[in-house]
Amino acid sequence: MHLNFGKTFLTGLALATLLGTATLALPAQAATLRMAWAQDATGLDPHTQTAFSSLRLLELIYEPLVRLDAEYNVGPAVAKSWEFSSDGLTLTFKLDPNAKFSTGDAVTSADVKASFERLLDEATAAAARANFLSIKTIDTPDPQTVVFNLSQPDAPILIAMSGTNASIVPASAIADGSVGTKAVGSGPFKLDEWDPNVKEVLSANPNWAGGKVGVDGIIISVLPSESSIIDSMRANQIDFALFNDPTIATLIPGEPNMTLNRIPGLAYNVLQLNPSRPPMDNVKVRQAISCAVNRQEIIDTALVGEGKVTGPLTMAAFASDPASLFCYKQDVEKAKALMAEAGLADGFSVNVIAATGEPPYAANEAQVLQSQLAAIGVKLTIQTMDLKVYVDTWLKGDFDMAVAQNGGRPDPYPMYNRYFTKDGNLIKVSNFTDPELDKLLQEGRIETDIAKRKPIFQQFEARLAEEAPWIWISSTVTYTANLGTVKGYEINPSGLIFSLSKVTVGE
């Protein structure tokens, strides 16, 4: 598929170079950021995409109502201000009067209302739908005012509204069904061209209300491997890159004229079990698997020591010490005893799926897990899949087990309610509900006092680890790298690359 979104900002020479090769030996352009990654976006609909690679592209094009900074403070985006009512049942936004889509059309309250109605429509299959089920009605008293009427107090809804999956799209694009086929947002860049698995061409959005963008545009090259990205940076063909493979990223500090930007992330590596399928429907089997896993060995072997053992909560404000959670220290004898109690002392055979590109070490994780679980008679057959096929399979919950890397949030409720509440829109992915987990999530949702919220969510974390529908392994590390000519980039623990809107490229 090749989508052309109109005339680009490129010179004829640069465009001919782009079209002629995917290796992209590009001439330097003073105000163009040459960027690379090894895993391309899988789609353009900001409401439905779940792959990290898609969200990283779309966050440059679309804007949510509010945005989180690197310290998780809520700041303006499409909205310039907001206020909860004293009873917590209404949330009123005042939109930035200068906010415009890349077409030049103003962003109005009608666009916000249409966007959230689309998010809440089950037919959309929106990735973040469950975060907004407290929205009862939406009022638009004037073009710059939006009032969300809530069915209950909802402390984390602002954080949920900051995500790319809650982006504001034009009401006209929703009406004509073009969301996902065209990319029309109010963010710092507009998408001029997308040639899947080859390149994206973006130009600065002159209508962006956030101020002047630091570069004229971005050329994103999809290169075959992260090793080839380093080669391209050495040859001064790429200015900025995203890395997911720690075995490659950790080589960068030894490279002249390259800077590695590294920060602990909120995302997590996890072995997802499918509790709807025997024998994973037996809690003793799930617990046995948790006890048999040596999480630190997986980190040391598959992730070259990058990351830390984590429980379900990866944000420091709420997380428990993993050592306090059920069977977080490997105990093979306990695992064997649990298997015997489940009537499976001889073990069983099961398949595990892993994506080839996100994360790039998924197959290595699966191999270490295969070796560890063999000690209790669990025989894993590893099935590797192209990312798009993997995501489609994952969203259907059509797997026995899945090696996954899932996104984190600074608040536990929007991080997990979509998986582990009865109304969660990704319940097909987890295939697991538990009344106690649901109750604790709801309690944490309505509690506004952080001191009271923390013990609620620590109970949630302990319960989730003991029920073991998934086996949490490690927190992640977020990596980017740039040449010395790139100035002003700020790395974000959520993996966001929005600060590319303010970078400059010079000699």
Instruction: Compute the distance between CA of residue 274 and CA of residue 353 in angstroms, rounded to an integer.
Output: 12
Q: What is the pLDDT along the chain (507 residues), one digit of tens a residue?
A: 334 333 333 333 232 333 333 444 444 444 899 999 999 999 999 999 999 999 999 999 999 999 998 888 999 999 999 999 999 999 999 999 999 999 999 999 999 999 999 999 999 999 999 999 999 999 999 999 999 999 999 999 999 999 999 999 999 999 999 999 999 999 999 999 999 999 999 999 999 999 999 999 999 999 999 999 999 999 999 999 999 999 999 999 999 999 999 999 999 999 999 999 999 999 999 999 999 999 999 999 999 999 999 999 999 999 999 999 999 999 999 999 999 999 999 999 999 999 998 899 999 999 999 999 999 999 999 999 999 999 999 999 999 999 999 999 999 999 999 999 999 999 999 999 999 999 999 999 999 898 999 999 999 999 999 999 999 999 999 999 999 999 999 998 888 899 999 999 986
pTM above 0.85, yes or no: yes
DSSP code per residue over 49-68: ---HHHHHHHTTT-B-SEEE
CA distances from 153 to 131, 140, 185, 448 (A): 13, 20, 30, 9
Fold of 3-61+187-239+485-505: D-Maltodextrin-Binding Protein; domain 2 (3.40.190)
Helix (H) or strand (E) holding 304: none
What pLDDT is stored for residue 485 in this prediction?
Answer: 95
Tell whether omega for the bond before 279 is within 30 degrees of 0, i.e. cis.
Answer: yes
Q: How far is CA 152 from the centre of its chain?
A: 27
493 class by beta-carbon count within 10 Å (0-12 exposed, 13-18 middle, 19+ buried)? buried
414/160 Cα distance (integer angstroms): 6
Taking the domains of the chain in order of start, what are their residue ranges? 3-61+187-239+485-505, 66-176, 264-476
Residue of 48, 28, 267, 318 lying closest to 156 (CA atoms): 318
Nearest residue to 145 (alpha-carbon basis) of 109, 96, 171, 169:
109
Let me know: does 173 contact 114? Beta carbons within 8 Å. no
Q: In degrees to the nearest 10, what's the CA dihedral of 325, 327, 329, 333?
A: 170
Q: Which residues pair with 479 in a beta bridge?
A: 243, 262
Distance CA 506, CA 136 (A): 50
SS3 category, 414 = helix
| Per-residue pLDDT, 495 | 86
| Residue written as token pair 């949630």 | 460
Q: Is 330 helix (H, G, I), strand (E, B) or coil?
A: coil
Q: What is the CATH number of domain 66-176?
A: 3.90.76.10
Q: Kindly list the distances between the CA atom of residue 399 and the CA atoms of 92, 380, 384, 390, in Å, as whole numbers in the listed order.
A: 42, 12, 12, 10
Topology alike, domains 3-61+187-239+485-505 and 66-176: no
Q: Any residues with CB less than 8 A from the CB of 479 and at least 6 apart, and which?
A: 242, 243, 244, 246, 249, 260, 261, 262
Upper half-sphere CA count for residue 396 (Cβ side, 13 Å): 10
| Distance between CA atoms of residues 26 and 34, nearest Å | 8
Q: Which CATH architecture has domain 264-476?
A: Roll (3.10)
Q: What is the pLDDT of residue 507?
A: 66
